């Protein structure tokens, strides 16, 4: 087994290739046409459809399910894509259990909702498998828009603008487009290079150029693109990560969970991905869950998720928490890290138990120490840098209800901007709606 060049205690190849292939298989798996029609028949097709209200992109869910039930899945896909051009990925990664499926009348009545997410995947996969999309680009308007960031918000915005006939150039800092969908989603949720294939499909509408390896503030400035384009959309995401401010946090085996997830996602051979024997993940959101589960699937013997508040306060949904425990991870709530001791191959991490008081979260003075040869930090992400002249609120770009920043001609959306949850589906909705406002403004100028 090969050791990590950074951390001697972290080893690649803890499991054989066959076991890893099985562990990282598709989490849910697609429905076949018969299964999809059976699942669709459970829908009540509610007139006031609470599932639509619960969907950030307001997809007409009863309509697309009825279209599946009547054996017209490509029409169902068009219904989905009209509102969410990244409906294929959202069907895989959306926390449907806390959005549309939680609002489903079947959930309230029986505790078992219609499988909206899997039905959405069935429809979108059916159409995308043909390699064509149901949209054509309008005649060129001669207007040029710069989109910074090829993540869900940027791609959604670019596609809608291209539909209107505008010429779009996307600047992205990474080697591959897709943003969070490509680098930040657990590998078992998006198999078979789906994120990259979805981008290729989206770009087939034409009128969109992507320039990779172009980072705002390094390779170009905001003023550069302002002078060259009629409008600018910032969808840069949250590329920075918060750090632990405790002794020992600089040891080599203390790393970002985001970086760990990206390494797994970009690996062509999981036997090359190094993982510790005793892994501790600090955090309570989806990043923490994804990192912990993937560590376990790679062969870690003990994986512990430590969160400073109660388990009911975790940002990760209960379904995701249950997934983690079902895979063998342990969740320990009410723990905040106080120190890390050891060297770059073995160490221990000490936590202080917390209590919730009327004055907020406080340490109790009681501690517990865990052995850890790999510590993954999932304690929040931040906006990397501040675009020139752009006003920030709470560490994010301040925007109004139309996605407009404080500078005329510059819009923003997705995780980097104020106003919504840090979800793929929310970013798609904001990119789409901002594109509509950009088009409206360009049409009157």
Domain assignment present for 5: no
Residue 250 and residue 354 in one domain: yes
Instruction: Let me know whether 293 and 329 are in one domain.
Output: yes
The answer on 149 and 102 residing in a single domain is: no
| Mean pLDDT across 300-315 | 96
> Last residue of some domain: 128, 161, 196?
128
Residue 343 has pLDDT above 80, yes or no: no
Q: Are residues 290 and 187 in the same domain?
A: no
Is the residue at 24 inside a domain?
A: no
Q: How many domains does the chain have?
A: 3
The 3-class SS string of the chain reads: CCECCCCCCCEECCCCHHHHHHHCCCCCCCCCHHHHHHHHCCCCCCCCCHHHHHCCCCCCHHHHHHHHHCCCHHHHHHHHHHHCCCHHHHHHHCCHHHCHHHHCHHHHHHCCCCCHHHHHHHHHHHHHCCCCCCCCCCCCCCCEEEEECCCHHHHHHHHHHHHCCCEEEEEECCCCCCCHHHHCCCHHHCCCCHHHHHHHHHHCCCCEEEEECCCECCCECHHHHHHHCCEEEECCCCCEECCCCCECCCCCCEEEHHHHHHHHHHCCCHHHCEECCEEEEECCCHHHHHHHHHHHHCCCCEEEEECCCCHHHCCCCHHHHHHHHHCCCEEECCEEEEEEEECCCCEEEEEEEEEEECCEEEEEEEEEEEECCEEEECCCEECCCCCCCCCEECCEECCCCCCECCCCCEEECCCCECCCCCCHHHHHHHHHHHHHHHHHHHHHC
Q: What is the pLDDT of residues 311-333, one digit of tens each?
A: 999 999 999 999 999 999 999 99
Same domain, residue pair 417 and 368: no
The confidence score (pLDDT) of residue 252 equals 85
Say if residue 283 is in the same domain as residue 219.
Answer: no
Q: Which pLDDT does position 432 carry in this prediction?
A: 98
Q: Is residue 2 part of a domain?
A: no
CATH number (domain holding residue 94): 1.10.1060.10
Q: Are 231 and 246 found together in one domain?
A: no
The confidence band for 250, taking pLDDT boundaries of 50, 70 and 90, is: confident
- Is position 40 within any domain? yes
Q: Please report which confidence band the pLDDT of residue 299 belongs to, taking 50, 70 and 90 as the band edges.
A: very high
Q: In the predicted model, what is the mean pLDDT of the chain?
A: 94
Share of the chain above pLDDT 70, in %: 97
Give residue 5's pLDDT. 45
User: Is it the case that residue 366 has pLDDT exceeding 80?
Assistant: yes
Whether residue 25 contacts residue 33, with contact meaning beta carbons closer than 8 Å, is answered with no
In a shared domain, residues 89 and 118? yes
Question: 345 pLDDT band (50/70/90 cuts)?
Answer: low
pLDDT tens digits, 3-44: 554 566 789 999 999 999 999 999 988 999 999 999 999 999
Q: Is residue 370 part of a domain?
A: yes
Higher per-residue pLDDT: 419 or 325: 325
pLDDT band at 422 (very low <50, low <70, confident <90, very high): confident
Considering only 132-136, 340-344, 400-404, which range has the smallest mean pLDDT? Answer: 340-344
Is 232 inside any structural domain?
yes
Residue scoring higher pLDDT (250 or 211): 211
Of 314-328, 342-356, 410-424, 430-444, which gets the smallest average pLDDT?
342-356
Cα separation, 58 vs 60, whole angstroms: 6
Q: Is the pLDDT of residue 444 over 60?
A: yes
Domain contains 14: no
Per-residue model confidence (pLDDT) at position 276 = 94
Please indicate, yes or no, whether residues 211 and 283 belong to a single structural domain of this protein: no
CATH of the domain at 298: 3.50.50.60
Domain closes at, from 333, 359, 377: 377
pLDDT over 90 percentage in the chain: 88
Residue 295 has a pLDDT of 98
pLDDT tens digit string along 257-275?
A: 999 999 999 999 999 999 9
- Supply the range of the domain harboring residue 235: 144-239+383-444
């Amino acid at each position: 087994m090969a050791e990590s060049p950074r951390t001697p205690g972290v080893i690649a190849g803890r499991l054989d290739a066959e076991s890893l292939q099985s562990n990282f298989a598709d989490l849910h798996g697609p429905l076949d046409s018969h299964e999809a029609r059976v699942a669709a028949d459970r829908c009540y097709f509610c007139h006031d459809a609470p599932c639509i209200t619960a969907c950030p992109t307001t997809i007409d869910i009863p309509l697309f399910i009825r279209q599946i039930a009547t054996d017209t899945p490509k029409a169902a896909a068009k219904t989905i894509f009209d509102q969410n051009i990244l409906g294929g990925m959202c069907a895989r990664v959306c926390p449907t259990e806390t959005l549309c499926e939680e609002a489903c009348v079947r959930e309230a009545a029986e505790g078992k909702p219609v499988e909206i997410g899997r039905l959405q995947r069935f429809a979108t996969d059916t159409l995308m498998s043909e390699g064509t999309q149901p949209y054509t680009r309008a005649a060129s308007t001669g207007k040029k828009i710069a989109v910074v960031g090829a993540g869900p918000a940027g791609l959604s915005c670019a596609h809608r603008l291209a539909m209107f006939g505008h010429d779009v150039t996307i600047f992205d800092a990474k080697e591959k487009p897709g943003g969070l969908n490509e680098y930040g989603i657990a590998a078992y949720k998006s198999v078979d290079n789906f994120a990259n294939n979805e981008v290729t499909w989206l770009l087939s509408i034409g009128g969109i150029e992507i320039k990779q390896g172009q980072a705002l503030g390094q390779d170009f400035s905001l003023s550069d693109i302002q002078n060259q384009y009629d409008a600018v959309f910032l969808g840069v995401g949250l590329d920075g990560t918060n750090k632990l401010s405790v002794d020992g946090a600089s040891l080599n085996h203390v790393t970002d969970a985001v970086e760990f997830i990206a390494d797994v996602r970009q690996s062509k051979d999981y036997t090359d991905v190094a993982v510790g024997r005793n892994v501790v993940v600090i955090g309570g959101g989806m990043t923490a869950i994804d990192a912990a589960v993937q560590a376990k699937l790679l062969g870690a013997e003990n994986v512990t998720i430590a969160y400073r508040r109660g388990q009911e306060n975790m940002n990760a949904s209960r379904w995701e928490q249950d997934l983690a425990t079902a895979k063998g991870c342990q969740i320990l709530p009410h723990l905040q890290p106080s120190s890390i001791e050891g060297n770059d191959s073995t160490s221990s991490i000490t936590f202080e138990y917390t209590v919730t008081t009327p004055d907020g979260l406080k340490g109790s003075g009681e501690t517990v120490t865990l052995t850890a040869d790999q510590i993954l930090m999932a304690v929040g992400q931040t906006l990397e840098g501040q675009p020139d002249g752009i006003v920030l609120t709470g560490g994010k770009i301040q925007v109004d209800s139309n996605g407009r920043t404080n500078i005329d001609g510059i819009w923003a959306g997705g995780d980097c901007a104020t106003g919504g949850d840090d979800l793929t589906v929310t970013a798609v909705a904001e990119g789409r709606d901002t594109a509509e406002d950009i088009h409206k403004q360009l049409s009157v100028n």
